[in-house]
Chains A and B, each alone.
Chain A
Amino acid sequence: MDLTTWIATVEADINRRPGLADRTWAWAYLIRAIALNDLLAAPPGTTTDAVWVEPQMAWTMDDLVDAGVRATAPTVPEVDAGDVRAVLTAALRRLILVASADDPRLPMPLVDACGYAVRRAALAHHAISGTLP
């Protein structure tokens, strides 16, 4: 499966969730899981650039949970080591797009949590790809 199809499949799965905050949490969970797997699968004694992504997504999930989000974890597909950077970059872009959608019905705690999620994702994107989306 190529990257575009892969992302589209994951996106379709996540888009079935009802709320914007739930979808943001699911993307954060997915990205964090991929980053963590990449870190843990690195050769002994080494680290990868996923070290900059994993904490940002962990903090995003904490913010969302503190704002009241309770969601089930999405299925995390396996990603080849060579594809991790491209997958993380594409998934971070999706998170930014999802979380930055303007929903006037969203309560302020979730507005804050989603706003901070966008900024954390932008920082992670910059750290792993050297540029902003």
Chain B
Amino acid sequence: MTPPRVTYGELMDDARRAAHQGMNALARERFPDTSGARATVAIRAELLAEIGQHTVTVLGSTRVATWREGVPPRRCPEFRQPAVIATLAWIDTLIDHGRPHPVSLPTPESAVAAGHWARSLRLVRAATDLVATHQDARGAVRSGTPRDLALADVGGLLASATRLVNVIAPIEPLAVRARQAGMTPAEVEQALPLADRLLQDTYALEGALRFPMSAVTGLPLHRAPIGTGDPAVEWRERLDRVHARMHRHAQRSRASVRTLHDVATLGLVTSHVLTSSGLRDPATGPDLTGQWRAVLAHLAPLRSIERHDRVIRHDTERMLDLARSARTAGDPPARGRLIRAIDAGVPTMDACSGLADRLLAQTTDAWIPAKPHAPYLRDLHPPGTAARRAPPPEAQWPRMPPPPPASPGLDCG
């Protein structure tokens, strides 16, 4: 029998574990019927809303109320900080997710994911209650409250909650399973919209709070947020951000092999989409695809434990998600706009490849496969961490040839 969980960290870790189990169940098996799918969608909304309420409790309702009232900065110096603005927006987004489902639906036993998420919900409520015992009726901390809770900054307080949201915020595979189970496209779009900003807002919050393990350290809030309403606009904005990040890496003359691989992936996917949609010029397209493949082949054996650029990784993941035709197949005009945006982004992609070309020559990361060693000997150099200078690049990064001036059918701009 599992011993009872007694600390806040254990409760939130167990909640996240249960959330993962729910997601795993969705990946493994179908819903038995529509009611199971609806109950799972509803419990997800309830869980997200509960995390919003939990966040208010952890921060202290007095402090959150003060932030919301907009008292003058002199009385509440943290009021106008970007982290505070991002936190309030994030709480509102979470609570808004619970609004379409004000009443819990009965959870059928057969909806495995719903069962796991219901357990996660109970654990989050228990964690909320645990924190609330340290607060008085006004939401202020009581005397004798542990120092970690009373004095921790916002980032430290919200780390567990944002990690939990990161697990359940993605709408796939739940949206696919819901469609399989018979929910209508309108129902799915209302409950799990493609343009959902929750994941994006969570990354932005983590950036603003500067978590040690943040997904986007360095993501500035003063820059306009990525618009998720239109896939074409989102593609363009993310590609611009990837380009800007690559510029920053080029100025520092340093980028992880993982980041270069991400850029190569983006280039190959761009090529793949344009070729399969018939937009690529038959004269230059195959050459360019071949060059991207050569770059990928060169990068494939290289490994690094140096962290990737998390902004570029996040953007690449999302862009691949957008480019998969399944995501926009139900909306041909949007798909057409996206393809045109991908085509228009080829010069930017080319600029990225130029920057990556320079960085690739400077990379010293390589991966040497770990060898089995006697476990009783402590190794000062853990396996897989050795590095040596990479061989000189055998493949040049693809560059788009300049478009011929008198070529009416070729428009890369």
Contact = CB atoms under 8 A, between A and B. Distances in A.
Interface of A: 36, 39-40, 42, 44-47, 51-52, 54-55, 58-59, 62, 65-66, 70-73, 96-97, 99-100, 102, 104, 108, 111-112, 114-115, 118-119, 121-123, 126-127, 130, 132-133
Contacts of A111: 16-17, 20
Interface string B47-75: 00000000000000000000000000000
Interface in B367-394: 369-372, 382-384
Interface string B263-282: 00100110110010000000
Interface of B: 2, 13, 16-17, 20-21, 23-30, 163, 167, 170, 172-173, 176-177, 180, 258, 261-262, 265, 268-269, 271-272, 275, 285-287, 289-290, 293, 296-297, 300, 303, 305, 307-308, 313, 316-317, 320-321, 324, 326, 369-372, 382-384
Given A62-B258, A96-B28, A133-B28, A104 B2 contact: yes
A72 B44 CA distance: 38
28 contacts: A40-B296, A44-B290, A45-B275, A45-B289, A46-B286, A46-B289, A47-B271, A47-B272, A55-B261, A55-B265, A65-B384, A70-B382, A96-B27, A96-B28, A100-B21, A100-B24, A100-B28, A102-B21, A108-B17, A112-B16, A114-B20, A115-B23, A118-B27, A123-B172, A123-B321, A126-B326, A127-B326, A132-B173
Contacts of A59: 313, 317
**Chief secondary structure at chain B's binding surface:** helix
B297 A126 contact: no
Given A59-B317, A70-B370, A127-B326, A122 B307 contact: no
A111 B180 CA distance: 28
Contact of B27 (A52, A104, A121): A121
B167 A115 contact: yes
Nearest to B22: A115
Contacts of B163: 112
A103 B309 CA distance: 30
A47 B274 CA distance: 11
Contact of B13 (A70, A108, A115): A108
A55 B316 contact: yes
Nearest to A115: B20
A51 B272 contact: yes
Contact of A126 (B173, B286, B317, B371): B173
Nearest to B382: A70
A107 B317 CA distance: 26
- The winner among A44, A51, A126 for most chain B CB atoms within 10 A is A51
B180 A132 contact: yes
A130 B370 contact: no
Contacts of A55: 261-262, 265, 269, 316, 320
A47 to B, nearest CB: 4
Contacts of B258: 58, 62
A58 B258 CA distance: 9
A118 B24 CA distance: 6
A65 B258 CA distance: 12
Contact of A71 (B293, B317, B370): B370
Nearest to A108: B13
